[in-house]
Structure 1
Amino acid sequence: MQDAQVYKANALVEASYRLSLYEQRIILACIAQVRRDKPLTDQQLYTVSAQQIADMAKISVDRAYQHLKTASERLFDRRVTLHEAPNGNGHAKVRLTRWVQEVVYQETLGTVALRFSQPMVPYLSQLTEQFTRYALADVAKMTSAHAVRLYELLAQWRGSGKREVEIEWLREAFQLGEKYPAIKDFKRWVIQPAIDQINEHSPLWVNWEQKKTGRKITHLAFSFGEKIQESRHKPQKGKSKDTAGKAPKNGSGALYGIPMPVIEKMAQLGESYEDAALRLLDESKRGA
């Protein structure tokens, strides 16, 4: 499953639903099995084992087995609110449906199998231009369901590197209900942990800021980009006098995943580009 790809219609990425972390893992592991060269029907059964979940989450098989059983039982009752057709065709409408029509738990084998509901099928197949794709491994190590959702919303705009969303829309998409009504709690318990996990575990680096309409905080603005290979290794302490204050010569246009124009603008007096990049990366994790 290491190279497995997840394909979702953008309308599904932006849908309103709530799934626990392990429910997300089951659903994504099944979506990653959908063949792109064959039509998907609601009669196809997709199986996920406790071993696959254990490998994805880096936990013991026994622990994965218990999570798999509990999550599979809840999945049958989970619903999703969709606001657009799979490829944006037709008039806007609100469609309330379920993720799956059947869940089969095979206790002796430690597996769960599911069939997607018929209305869900077009959002996982028959995709033309309006869809989001990412590697299952991008979110495998995340331990926050909100981090997985936010990563999808950013991956949807991967080409632009920027996305601004209304806070109330995001709360609805995450189905938070009455939880975290204060903006400080929403940022502390939902946004910042999600950003930290995306920066730590995914191929993307992310910075964010809040925006106001009048005196009220109403929007969150995200800037993000691909980490370069160099950033996936532990940086060496100290700096070379030959490279201090100079842009990298690798032609990547970024250092530790942060674009050089940003580093040049934010670098402090006497600070090397490497030190500035490391400082900015640390600040982004702390929401500075």
Structure 2
Amino acid sequence: MHLYRYTISKISLQLFMLKDPNLVKYSNKVVRSAQRLSLLEQRIVFSAIAQVPLGTEITSEDKFYLRLEDLKKLGGAVSNDSYELLKEAADRLLTRTITLAPIDRKKGMTWTFLWCQASGYNDEKRMIGIQFSSMIIPFLKEVRERFVQYDLEEITGFRSVYTQPLYARLMLHMRNKDTGGIKQRWSETIPLDELRLTLDAEKYSAFGQFKLRVLNVAVQQINESVYTRFTVKWSIDEDSKIGKRVTAIRFSMSLRPHLVTDPEPDTDTVDWVSGLTRRQATLTEPQIVMVADWLSGKNKTVLEKHGTNVSEVYEFLRRQKQIPAKLDANNPDEYKKWLRKKLIDPEFVMLISPILRKLEFNFGGL
């Protein structure tokens, strides 16, 4: 039996999930670590993570269930025999281990423990289940300021085991630290050894093979997908080369055009209509999810508490000519997904500020 490890040096593993059936959120420290799972195992784990709602107390008794159809939505598990492959992948998760060093600071101990403690299946319903190990539960409960968060839809169709880890890694510096807004362009130079470790591609020690089988494939899949938020270009970092040896890769990311807002936003000038600055109208990721929950009716309590409802919110947006013709507002998940994308734009937040003020939303301390 081979034991595969997540190796994370001098850090602790933190995962945190929001109340959204399609949203995956976890610490950027995990993104920097080696994620040594097969493509199908990745999809099982991340689909399970996305089921955990905000504020829920996770215990080692909790079980997470996935049907074959759930995995098909991600572009995998498509053949007639895929259910058997799904069961096999769930069983293999029982052998996957995590190494954290050191988490026992007093004794300087490095601990290795299993990712999952149990897996199950139901042939009639074509469904599998997994149960996270008791040792990982404390890390599932931890919350940190910095995290990577994306919709499961964004990794739809990724066919290489290297694409999702690279996509998540390149998101680390996507947001402006001062405003919280998403940058139109950003870049990062990553040491080649670190990149190999993160992508679990250390077997490709020769750069030519790494370029051909890992880098080009993953970047191409990110760029060709209609669901990803940004496109990627890469180049060899010439300044860090040692002779002819490549030691670092420079990545340049560009936000997709339909997500670009003001090219040079004035963050501190007050908009005379909404009374907000762009800085105040730029929501963080947790705020975006929370507000989308409110407005879509996923969390009706807040709307009802303030004397309004989903229909009134929808009518307001319709009068403002914000509702696209193809949007099915009767589908809560589709409606919420649309709202999440709109709430990235500070201009949209300014537009709906009367609703948000009625709901007592806190605009940066106002």
Query: Which residue is equivalent to 2:64?
Result: 46
CA displacement at 1:59 relative to structure 2: 5.6
Name 2:230's counterpart in structure 1.
204
Based on CA coordinates, which of the two structures has the bigger radius of gyration?
Answer: 2
Paired amino acid for 1:214: I
Which residue, out of 163, 171, 177, partners 1:155? Answer: 171
Contact 1:51 1:61 in 2 (8 A): no
How far is the alpha carbon of 1:183 from its aligned partner?
0.3
CA distance in 2, matches of 1:222, 1:94: 33
C-alpha contact 2:27 2:148 (8 A) present in aligned 1: yes
Unmatched runs of 5 consecutive residues or more in structure 1? 231-249, 255-288
Runs (4+) of structure 1 exceeding 6 A deviation are: 89-93
**Corresponding residue for residue 195 of structure 2:** 170
Moved more, 119-128 or 205-214: 119-128
Measured in 2, the distance between the counterparts of 1:176 and 1:156 equals: 20
Contact 1:9 1:130 in 2 (8 A): yes
TM-score by length of 2: 0.57
Note if 1:133 corresponds to 2:162. Answer: no
With normalisation by structure 1, the TM-score equals 0.71
CA distance in 1, matches of 2:146, 2:29: 8
Aligned-partner residue type, residue 169 of structure 2: L
Residue 55 of structure 1 is matched in structure 2 by 73
State the secondary structure of the residue aligned to 1:222.
Answer: strand
Q: Of 201, 215, 224, which residue of structure 2 is paired with 1:191?
A: 215
C-alpha distance in structure 2 between counterparts of 1:157 and 1:98, whole Å: 30
Task: Give the CA RMSD over aligned residues.
Answer: 2.9
Q: Tell me the matched-pair count.
A: 231
1:225 and 2:223 matched: no
Q: Please tell me the residue identity of whatever aligns with 1:109.
A: K
* Shift of residue 20, structure 1, vs aligned partner: 0.8
Give the drift of 1:124: 3.3
SS in 2 for 1:209: strand
CA distance 1:57–1:2, change in 2 (3 Å): farther
- Give the Cα–Cα distance (whole angstroms) in 2 for the partners of residues 225 and 123 of structure 1: 32
Deviations 1:241-272 (A, max 9, x none): xxxxxxxxx96549xxxxxxxxxxxxxxxxxx
Whether contact under 8 Å (2:233, 2:251) holds in the other structure is yes
Counterparts of 2:150 and 2:211, CA distance in 1:
25
Identity between Structure 1 and Structure 2 (%): 25
Change (3 A) 1:25 1:84: farther
Q: Between Structure 1 and Structure 2, which shows a larger proportion of strand residues?
A: 1
Residues 118, 131 of structure 2: 8 Å contact kept: yes
The CA deviation at 1:61 is 6.3
Q: Find the residue that maps to 1:52 and give its secondary structure.
A: helix
SS in 2 for 1:124: helix
| Rounded Cα–Cα distance in structure 2 between residues aligned with 1:149 and 1:64 | 23
- Answer whether contact 1:204 1:226 (CA < 8 A) is retained: yes
Contact 1:2 1:137 in 2 (8 A): no
